Structures are given as structure tokens and as C-alpha cells.
Structure 1
């Protein structure tokens, strides 16, 4: 079965990673690519290493009224740029929005594929989680669902590679000279991913996420996210690990490890690594989550969600090992 796929925003890091995964997918065929500044270029001009079968595909100017016959559309657009355009897409075209406009929006499933796959299967509209929520919520979910931590007052400290800022833009903070040998916190108390994290914490726990603190930090690496999360709870380390192993039993992409995870473990993959350390005498649980921000944090989870939409095995096109070293 061939499933006709399109990508809008293909020139960005998220769109380019989606193209890489789709190029090796056993059922997906990329027949449409769209962008703005790259319109008119062939894929091989933007991505010299693209497979030969896609090299001549011309990037079109994004116009939701001029789509070819598609089964699935991946939208990798900046937050604020997709809501109006995607509302014009016919319902028979399944959409995975990698951007931020539809997270917890009415009519859109929230695509935490490893946690709520049943909420995604059979839908036509899925909003990919943000990259930070993908790492943090995967680590928190087993603890919240089993009542091992309090949902309020959680503190999330995150480190991310610079590819999370996207490919375009003239902001010098993301250039080599300013990001190399530098560590920068940003958007404290007001990051755009906080609302979806708070809402998911409340859904998983049945309690209030009041007091949630989230601070991301930009680190001088290309890709990867590490979240270190502090919560109140009387569980032991072993109880946390056991809860996670049960929660993710049979789930292909989540690895529970006794050692603190490292970002390189996930590079180039759709894997998520979680681990825990707890001191019940101090009423303290530390949860750790690692993903590749362009993999599980963006395009990898988007392809996993598309597999669920189309009734395919979740692992289709996503079984490649991480890049090491």
C-alpha cells in the first residue's frame, strides 16, 4: 500500500528530518514539498544528499488551495503560521502539525504517541507535542499515572541543542560565534510549551499542576534534549523504575534505564530514554528524560503519529539505530 505524503516547511530542520524519515519509509511516498523562500528549488539543491528518487522533486510555494491528491500532510511551520492555512485543508487529508498552533485545540488529538496511542489511531488531525514536552512528559507520565509524585510544584530544568531554534532567522544567538562555549537560559516562566505540559500533567494525575516551573537552556550542541525534573514524592528509585517499566511495557521507543541518560543515546532516532533517582526521606523524586529534539521531539514522533493515523505499525520507517558517536 502506497500512502501519498506531502510536507510543508520542508526546508526547515523539522521538515528536513521528516523528509529523511519518509524517504526510507516502507509505505509513505513523498509527492509534494512546499516552502516559502525555497520555492522553485529542487530538493537536491536544498539537501544534496537526498535519495535519487526524490532529488528532482520541486519545492512549491505553499498554497493550501493547490494541493495534489494527498493522504497525509506534515506541516512544519512556525507557531502562529499554520492555524489559518490548515483549516482550509479537506478533512480527507490527514494532517500532522509539527508546529505549535493546534496543541490541545478543539478537533485535534494531542499526539503523545507513546502515552496515548489510542487517542491518535483513526483520527484525521494530530498536533505533535513540543520538543520539551516530549522529553519531560515521557519521564513524568508513569509517576503521575501511578500517584508516585505530587502534580503541583514540579520543576523542569531542560537543556537543548541549537537546532531547536529552527533553520531560518537572523538571530545571532543561534550562530556559531555566540552559541559555541556558551550556556544560555531563556524564556523563564513564560515559555510557549508550559501550557501543554501543565494540561498533560493534570490529565495524567487528575490533580492540579499549579506551581509548575520550566526553564530551558541553550547548550552548544546541534541536537538533543535532556530534562531534569524535580518533584515531591515518597517513592523509592526502584519503585519509580518499576512503574516506568510497567507503563511502557511493549512500547517500542521508550527505554527505561538505571543510569542517567545522555543526549547522544538518542541522536538521529525516535527513542526516548527515562530514568529516576529518589530519596523518600527528603520527599524528593528526580525524573530524567532524553530525546533527540528533531526525532522524538519533532519529525520522529510526527511519523509515529502518521503511522497510527494510517493504521500502520508504529515502528514503520523508524527502526533505525541512533547515530553513534
Structure 2
């Protein structure tokens, strides 16, 4: 079975990770690559290690009205740049939008694949969750489903590798000299992922998430996300772990661990790790979530979503082990 796929925004970090996964996918055939500054280059010029069968594929200038015959299009474009263009893609082409323009937009399914796979299967327009929501919501979902914490207030302290800022180029804040041996909070009270996290908490619980606090930090590593989440609840640690094990029973990509997870556990994979610590006497529950921001936080979950909408085995092309060390 050969499913013809394309990637727009292939030269960015998310698009490049999608290329890596699709190149090894048993059912996907990459037939179209598009970009802006990289248009006219061969894939091998941008990615020297690309498999030989893809080396001479030429990156085209992105034009949604002049696509080759495609079954699935992965769009990895900066937030704010994809909505108008993707609206012109023919309805016969399934789209997974890795960027942020279609999350909770009418006509698009929110692609939280490990939590709502049945809502994604068979859809034609899927909006990938953001990287921080992928880690945060995966850790929170079992607690919210069992009522072990209140939906309000929830405090999220998040750390991300620098690749989460995108390839971009041009912004000195993300250069080596600025980020090396540094820890940088940013996006306080207004990060673009905060409304997405709040909306999903409210959908999961039917309650308000008005008290959500979300603070991300850049750390001097290339990839990985660790979120530490604080909520109110009387559960014990074992009750939280048991809830997560039941919630994710049979789910291939979520690992529930007794010890606090580390970002390297997920590097280069589509895995999510969750763990919990609780003190019922203090009415405190701590949830922890780890993902690779380019894997589960972007291209990995996008391929998982594409598998679901194409009726494939959900794990197809995604069973590779994390990179270690």
C-alpha cells in the first residue's frame, strides 16, 4: 500500500523531522516537498543524509493550488501563515497541520492522538497539538478523567529545548551565545499555547480553567520538553499512577513511570512519559510529563494522526527506539 504524501515547510525543524519519519514509513511515499527559501534545492542539498531514493526530489515553491496528486499533506508552517493557504488545498487531500492556525477551529479535529484517537480516525482535517500542550495534557488527562485534581487552579512550569523556537534564523535570542549556559523564562501570561491548554482542560472536565498559570522556559539543549504541573487534590501518589496506567492501558506511546521522567528518555521518539507525586495532607498533586518537542510535540504525533486518518496501524513508522545517549 503506497500513500502519496507531501510536506510543506520541509526545511524547518518540524518539517525536517516529518521527512525523517516519512522516509522510514512502510506505507507513506514522499512525492512532494515545498518551502520558500529552500525552493529549487534538491532534498539532498538540504538534508545530505536523506535516503538515496529521495535525494533528487526538488523542493518546490509552496503553491496550494498546484499540487501533484496527494493523499496526505503535512503542513509545518509558522503560526499565522497557513490558514489562508491551506483553505485552498483540494478537499480530496487530507491535511495534518503541525502549525498552530487550526487548533479548535471549526472544521478541524484537534489531534490529541493518545487521548482521543477515536475522534481523529477517518477525518480529513487534523490540527496537531502544540508541543507544550502535548506534554501537559498527556500528564493531566488521567487525573482530570478520574476527578483526582480540580480543573482550577492548575500551575504548569515548563522547560523546552531551543529547537522549539523553530529554525527561524535571524533572532539573536535563540543563538548559541544567548542560550548556552542560560535559563530563560518567556511568554509569561500570554504564551500562544495557554488558550489551547485551557480549552482542552475545559473540554475534558466541563469546568473552568480560568485559573490556569503556564510559564515556559528555554533551556540550553536542542530538543525535549519537561512539564511539572501543580494541582489541588486529595489523591495519593499510587492513586495517580494507577489512574494513568488504566487510562493509557493499550496505548503504545505513553509510558507511566514510578520515578520522575527525563527528557533524554524521549529523544528522537514519539513517546510520552508521565509520572506523579502527591501529598493528600497538603491537598497537592504534582504531575510530570516529558516529550520530544519535535517528536510527540510535532512531527511524531503528526504521523500518528496521519496513520489514524488513513486507517493504518497507529504505530506505523513510529516504533523506533529513542536516541541514547
Tell me the TM-score normalized by structure 1.
1.00
Shift of 1:320: 0.1
Output one character per residue of 1:105-134: Cα deviation in whole Å (capped at 9) or x when no partner. 000000000000011001000000000000
Alignment of 1:150-229 (within 5 A): 150-229=150-229
Q: Give the whole-Å Cα distance in 1 for the aligned partners of 2:152 and 2:89.
A: 39
Alignment of 1:62-211 (within 5 A): 62-211=62-211
Q: Give the whole-Å Cα distance in 1 for the aligned partners of 2:183 and 2:115.
A: 31
Q: Give the whole-Å Cα distance in 2 for the aligned partners of 1:196 and 1:108.
A: 14
Shift of 1:210: 1.4
Q: Give the whole-Å Cα distance in 2 for the aligned partners of 1:249 and 1:207.
A: 26
| Greater CA drift, 198-207 or 226-235 | 198-207
Q: Secondary structure at the match of 1:7?
A: strand
Shift of 1:211: 0.7
Q: Give the whole-Å Cα distance in 1 for the aligned partners of 2:100 and 2:168.
A: 17
Q: Give the whole-Å Cα distance in 1 for the aligned partners of 2:266 and 2:86.
A: 31
Per the alignment, residue 238 of structure 1 pairs with 238
Q: Give the whole-Å Cα distance in 1 for the aligned partners of 2:279 and 2:232.
A: 10
Q: Give the whole-Å Cα distance in 2 for the aligned partners of 1:219 and 1:5.
A: 34
Q: Secondary structure at the match of 2:32?
A: strand
Shift of 1:34: 0.1
5+ residue gaps, structure 2: none
Alignment of 1:296-311 (within 5 A): 296-311=296-311
Output one character per residue of 1:228-268: Cα deviation in whole Å (capped at 9) or x when no partner. 00000000000000000000000000000000000000000
CA RMSD of aligned residues (A): 0.4
Shift of 1:168: 1.8
Shift of 1:169: 2.9
Q: Give the whole-Å Cα distance in 2 for the aligned partners of 1:121 and 1:91.
A: 17
Shift of 1:203: 1.1
Tell me the TM-score normalized by structure 2.
1.00
Structure 1 residue 61 corresponds to structure 2 residue 61: yes
Shift of 1:51: 0.6
- Following TM superposition, the consecutive aligned residue runs of length 4 or more in structure 1 with deviations greater than 3 angstroms are none
Q: Give the whole-Å Cα distance in 2 for the aligned partners of 1:300 and 1:287.
A: 23
Per the alignment, residue 34 of structure 2 pairs with 34
Q: Give the whole-Å Cα distance in 2 for the aligned partners of 1:234 and 1:203.
A: 22
Shift of 1:173: 1.0
Q: How many matched pairs?
A: 325
Output one character per residue of 1:154-188: Cα deviation in whole Å (capped at 9) or x when no partner. 00000000000111231111111110000000001
Q: Secondary structure at the match of 1:126?
A: strand
